[in-house]
Structure 1
């Protein structure tokens, strides 16, 4: 075994870029986290030899496979003779039971523990496995479970780095209609840093089995990216169609129209929207953010118009609040696009994708914040970050962050800069960070009233829940700017959406759906998509919806899984569905259930958001 290792020259840029992605805005923070010298980290990142134990430890926290990173020359691979037995959980979200069983049998024959996860079970199986073998396909797009599994596995990485290792395999064609990728925008967001493989035909099964056994034998934590079945993320957008799910003539016609009935946009704005880079999403299929050019986006006047007007104003601040799946991110994308059309540079920053260690301290969080913005603007300069990080040791992290933006970033941009901060609820979970960060945002907003350079700084803050942490009223950004609270769809808007799906619904059919779902945007769109595709009739949907076998089975199970993680939320939801009258809950519990989209707040009281939730959870709780 060599006493020291060094990074391959062709891998140096990769390991450097992995610092920020894994929650280390600087070499100093990485060194402190591992309890090693900063010079050791510097040597590692610059391809100089370091002790092999430190080398492996740095690779571990940077989510790098050390055998791929190390310059081993012609030497032996360390530990290759060691017999390894692993526990593998096979999650079949592709509806390919024969393939899942074949993989399970092969892994068991090799002496490993392999089990096919129960599709209706919670994510408990992730706690017990070394590897999550995730089988995906176009059928996965209508399910929320794969994303929940990936999120849960990544959360476990905070406690057991790289365990379970995520090994995703896409079954069948990746490209669909007109070469559009079948992977959803949200799924790509969670998978883009994880190597994906593609199973194209039965001949690939033996290759996958062989590679899986090799990965386990060498204790690797990812599928290799240099094999025949490896998917190149940059190629996903250019793949041609090999197979596609049949669509109704109505949907095909709608796909080609790109119409905006009753749109408030003028012709020039429409052209600008259609020519903009679009998020990756299947047309019409409700999942995550709605494409900028999608004709399935329903405006909720006067919200969009007010936001577009406000974001062009000096020092603008817009606050968007709504429960999950109500359309916050879709609105944010449109606001940022409007800002671009008005001459602003824009950055969309989702805190949901930040590594948990980023929230350990204000210093680390604000360094990550500055580095992430700079990276998106292609202005990331390690020397500048280090300079202001050192300044933070003297004047404090808030002041150094402000100085970085004022003295380096804003002058470098030389145009208005609009930040879209999504999923800021995560900051609420770290009160110390929240107090400093939100105080900073308020301070920067106030600066725009008296200094010209800060007039170019505009903010859109998006969150799901009420601000339940104590913030000084004079330091909070949540009582200034333009407040936007997204409402549910009205009957008129539901009927308009039905028309865009080619459904000639009358008011009775609209009422029948809304009696079940209310005006919940995601649930309504999902229903209409499958009805338009002739997968189900309205009558069948209403009858089967509150059951595990219904259209919303995965959606409901995901909510149940999340409730099971937090017994106090489970008890609060149980009390809410058991009562025919609104129930008064402790504020924090009511806010959290509201942010999940499960309840509506009525003053100090809560009630289930829709009949679907009351029926499903009422039935599940009655079985306990």
Structure 2
């Protein structure tokens, strides 16, 4: 290694650790020391200063960056070893293992990790990085706990394979789902298709309902199954057979090893389904057609762990009067548009599912579509987004794809898309078409297309009211638009769909509704117990249901739950870590929220930052100011070392 290469490598290491580069004097000392010069030979007049100050700080920086004690005498060897190790890592297949810290997930992850490492590859266990757990082996440690968000990001960026151990517990883990989302986002945004996603269902039946996000992220990806320890060696053999290949490939390209416990896979394949992967049906939102949406909630029901969207058959969905009744009436109106807004995990998708179910009961065609499931590249321009929209709706309706036939260079993409609806999708059946667009906030991130996209939705809504020959056709289209935040992008008031139609803004549960939910979980609470829980998590539907589930299982007392709630060890640890990870991905949001949690009074923030934090559910809007949504967030984030700005 020559001196210039050594200097560049040293600067890269130091910058990665500190965010700063060497100054001119430090570079001078580095180069001279590499050439075996003394401090006097480097600079006769400032030799003492170089040795006691510049050199001292330089070797300390290198020691921190390299993870070993470095001096003027040994730094060459340390740097050469570091670079050699890095080059070896870059040519070694890396596997990111996403799993829950519970049995059998943990033991299975450890077995996979040790076998992959023993074969000369590199495995990283995600949950080990996120927690303080001590494992009985040194081979599968994740990374230092304090830096886990950055380390997980780095490992996801570098990994060739993303091994997902999808147990029923992992299927409801916010961290596991977020890791999968980011892996999918990385894969879809790269030409090399990495990381390859390898899902393994761990004691998780292919018929087990998954939440909407998880289904979307796994769409089109073949899955394997693990049902007993006898499956471990079979799966390991298949995983290890993938790693030496010159080209990375996934389950779908590999010939699976015969597995006696996966007879169901072969039956599925014979019926036209991918092994271990249930084909997505058009009624995924609407499973269970014998449901009475107007029936009163059951007095007591078997507790169920919240999974995001509340399933239609669930006894734990509480109607928020009068929203449901308003929506059910409105969706029957020709050319209607319903706008549902609320922060994350407040029940927006659950309400949309029930609106679509109500429409389906009337014989309408229904298409739920989440923009969260669109690849990042889809948003590169309006043409790609609208073609994707048309193709997805066509597939959901089980119609032949004719997008290419309607797309011409003569007309603009909005005109092409409108013609596709007007001449093909809407006339394809006599029944109305209800289109549920979830997570439309994602379009807000792309101002180059947002104005045209939302303007098109508004134009379709207005087409129904013109009274011309096409109005009857456009009256068949009913729109349900779901978003998490205020519309912080500038939209022409006459072209925005966010100031027309029926607006629904979901609020938190009241104390009476929390009391009703507690009764349904078999808990006989006094008002004081309801108040204690709501002091910590307010009336947030998801957080309340998580607490009631654990209490109903008699896993812990209310007092214990509340004392550990704002900690890593509490029932919300997974939820809080996901928020922390997201914030550290966006330093401007982290810095803004750090100000909020340490303030004793509501804080005024830049409107875009306030809206984004509100969409995450972290803050409540109080006029032009914000405050933490719940005591849970205030306590956790006040005690957490952010590693940036005011959060220190």
Question: Which of 611, 618, 624 is equivalent to 2:638?
Answer: 618
The residue aligned with 2:159 is 129
The residue aligned with 1:144 is 174
Aligned: 1:93 with 2:100: yes
Question: Which of 371, 375, 388 is equivalent to 1:368?
Answer: 388
C-alpha contact 1:336 1:418 (8 A) present in aligned 2: yes
**Paired residue secondary structure (2:428):** helix
The residue aligned with 2:226 is 199
Query: Which whole-Å CA distance do the structure 1 matches of 2:275 and 2:195 have between them?
Result: 27
Q: After TM superposition, give the deviation of residue 373 of structure 1 in Å.
A: 1.1
C-alpha contact 1:93 1:134 (8 A) present in aligned 2: no
The residue aligned with 1:389 is 407
Query: Which whole-Å CA distance do the structure 2 matches of 1:514 and 1:506 have between them?
Result: 13
C-alpha contact 1:94 1:140 (8 A) present in aligned 2: no
Query: Which whole-Å CA distance do the structure 1 matches of 2:523 and 2:579 have between them?
Result: 29
Q: Deviations over 1:445-492 (max 9, x none)?
A: 111112221111110000001111111000000000010000000000
5 Å-filtered alignment, 1:524-539, equals 524-539=544-559
Query: Which whole-Å CA distance do the structure 2 matches of 1:605 and 1:480 have between them?
Result: 27
C-alpha contact 1:572 1:589 (8 A) present in aligned 2: yes
- CA 1:576 to 1:225, structure 2 compared with 1: closer, same or farther past 3 Å? farther
C-alpha contact 2:211 2:309 (8 A) present in aligned 1: no
5 Å-filtered alignment, 1:122-271, equals 122=149, 123-124=152-153, 125-157=155-187, 158-159=189-190, 161-171=192-202, 173-175=203-205, 181=208, 183-184=210-211, 186-218=213-245, 219-223=247-251, 224=254, 226-229=256-259, 265=294
- CA 1:215 to 1:333, structure 2 compared with 1: closer, same or farther past 3 Å? same
Question: Which of 85, 100, 104 is equivalent to 2:113?
Answer: 104
Question: Tell me, which stretches of 5 or more residues in structure 1 are unaligned?
Answer: 1-82, 239-257, 271-281
**Paired residue secondary structure (1:214):** helix
- CA 1:402 to 1:259, structure 2 compared with 1: closer, same or farther past 3 Å? closer
The residue aligned with 1:409 is 425
Query: Which whole-Å CA distance do the structure 1 matches of 2:401 and 2:225 have between them?
Result: 36
Query: Which whole-Å CA distance do the structure 2 matches of 1:314 and 1:283 have between them?
Result: 39
Question: Which of 350, 363, 387 is equivalent to 2:370?
Answer: 350
The residue aligned with 1:246 is none
The residue aligned with 1:114 is 123
TM-score, normalising length from structure 2?
A: 0.73
Query: Which whole-Å CA distance do the structure 1 matches of 2:394 and 2:371 have between them?
Result: 15
Q: Deviations over 1:562-617 (max 9, x none)?
A: 00000000001100101111111001100100001111111111110000000001
Q: Deviations over 1:229-262 (max 9, x none)?
A: 5755778799xxxxxxxxxxxxxxxxxxx998xx
The residue aligned with 1:485 is 505
Aligned: 1:429 with 2:406: no
Query: Which whole-Å CA distance do the structure 1 matches of 2:112 and 2:357 have between them?
Result: 45
**Paired residue secondary structure (1:318):** strand
- CA 1:91 to 1:418, structure 2 compared with 1: closer, same or farther past 3 Å? closer
Query: Which whole-Å CA distance do the structure 2 matches of 1:203 and 1:343 have between them?
Result: 47
- CA 1:340 to 1:200, structure 2 compared with 1: closer, same or farther past 3 Å? closer
Aligned: 1:583 with 2:603: yes
Q: Deviations over 1:407-462 (max 9, x none)?
A: 22111122211110000011111112211111111111111112221111110000
Q: Deviations over 1:211-243 (max 9, x none)?
A: 1121111233312474435755778799xxxxx
Q: After TM superposition, give the deviation of residue 180 of structure 1 in Å.
A: 6.2
Question: Which of 456, 459, 468 is equivalent to 1:443?
Answer: 459
Query: Which whole-Å CA distance do the structure 2 matches of 1:432 and 1:337 have between them?
Result: 34
Query: Which whole-Å CA distance do the structure 1 matches of 2:447 and 2:642 have between them?
Result: 37
Structure of larger gyration radius: 2
5 Å-filtered alignment, 1:4-83, equals none
5 Å-filtered alignment, 1:233-382, equals 265=294, 284-382=304-402
Query: Which whole-Å CA distance do the structure 1 matches of 2:230 and 2:423 have between them?
Result: 58
- CA 1:387 to 1:519, structure 2 compared with 1: closer, same or farther past 3 Å? same
RMSD: 2.5
- Greater RCO between the two (CA within 8 Å, min separation 6)? 1
The residue aligned with 2:561 is 541
Query: Which whole-Å CA distance do the structure 2 matches of 1:139 and 1:343 have between them?
Result: 36
C-alpha contact 1:186 1:287 (8 A) present in aligned 2: no
C-alpha contact 2:414 2:456 (8 A) present in aligned 1: yes
Question: Tell me, which stretches of 5 or more residues in structure 2 are unaligned?
Answer: 1-89, 131-147, 279-289
**Paired residue secondary structure (1:299):** coil
Query: Which whole-Å CA distance do the structure 1 matches of 2:616 and 2:258 have between them?
Result: 41
TM-score, normalising length from structure 1?
A: 0.76
Q: Deviations over 1:347-366 (max 9, x none)?
A: 11110111111111111111
C-alpha contact 1:94 1:136 (8 A) present in aligned 2: no
The residue aligned with 2:570 is 550
- CA 1:440 to 1:186, structure 2 compared with 1: closer, same or farther past 3 Å? closer
**Paired residue secondary structure (2:123):** strand
**Paired residue secondary structure (1:100):** helix
The residue aligned with 2:286 is none
Question: Which of 492, 511, 518 is equivalent to 1:472?
Answer: 492
Count, aligned residues: 499
